[in-house]
A = this chain, B = another copy of it.
Amino acid sequence: MKTSNIFDDVPTKLDAEQVTDLVREGGMCIKRIVSTGHTTGWLNPDDEEWVVVLKGAAVLRFEEGDCKLTMRLGDWCYIPAGCRHRVGETSDKEPTVWIAVHFKVSETAASDVGAKV
């Protein structure tokens, strides 16, 4: 059993995004990401990704359909593998704290997961 708090030691100014692995187990990774005004280039992920914003604000951009998605406290987004996207903006007024879950779709039947809890 491992425990901590998402909001512990959130830096207010960073040269580059801060990425911290919270859990990394075969086939899956849960990260905390802190951005302070950072953006990214286009990403073409090999993995499935689910992200949620827990502080601050951001804008994601998606190549398909030239979509723009504004993300504020509690907003989450599921980005399938191969979905080209980038972080277009993050707040420069306060740190933006994300949780990101990266995973590969396995052949385990989805219906078997989490059934007992």
Q: Which residues of A contact B (CB under 8 A)?
A: 1-8, 22-31, 43-50, 52, 54, 62, 67, 69, 73-80, 83, 85, 99-110, 112-117
Known contacts A23-B50, A25-B105, A102-B117, then 9 further A-B pairs from the complex at CB < 8 Å, ordered by chain A residue: A1-B80, A3-B75, A3-B77, A5-B75, A5-B76, A30-B101, A44-B116, A102-B113, A104-B113
State which of B31, B45, B69 has its C-beta within 8 Å of the C-beta of A116: B45
Number of copies: 2
Q: A102 — which chain B residues lie within 8 A by C-beta?
A: 113-114, 117
State the main secondary structure of chain A at its contact with B.
strand
| A74: contacting residue among B6, B29, B62, B116, CB under 8 A | B6
